[in-house]
Amino acid sequence: MERSLGKTPTPEELKYRFNPGVRFYFNYIDLVGHPRFCSDGYHYCKVKDSIDLNDYMVVAIAPESTRVTLSKATDLKLRNRLSFINRDKYTDLNSWSQNACRTASEHKEK
């Protein structure tokens, strides 16, 4: 959302004009074992430069409106770890975040 606004969103924008992107979920223990893991004092867990999503991503949650685009753009291994949420039901940051976490937990249990 910051990129589309060109600034940090205000609390009002997060509540009434929230525009979610893809939210990635990883296993913390796997990330700590990554060769480029670091703790920089600001981020709780950070992997420098890049990470292979095929090897480390548990699930990605995205708006339903991106299903066709993301399904075409990702390989089968990643596609099987994508879940989508109807943005119309969860219009603010808090409700979107709660539902994304719940959806990720359900996906992880499968």
pTM, two decimal places: 0.81
Q: What percent of the chain has pLDDT over 90?
A: 44
pLDDT band at 106 (very low <50, low <70, confident <90, very high): confident
Q: How far apart are CA 40 and CA 101, in angstroms?
A: 25
| pLDDT over 70 (residue 61) | yes
Q: How far apart are CA 35 and CA 52, in angstroms?
A: 12
- Quick one: 3 exposed, middle or buried, by C-beta within 10 A (0-12, 13-18, 19+)? exposed
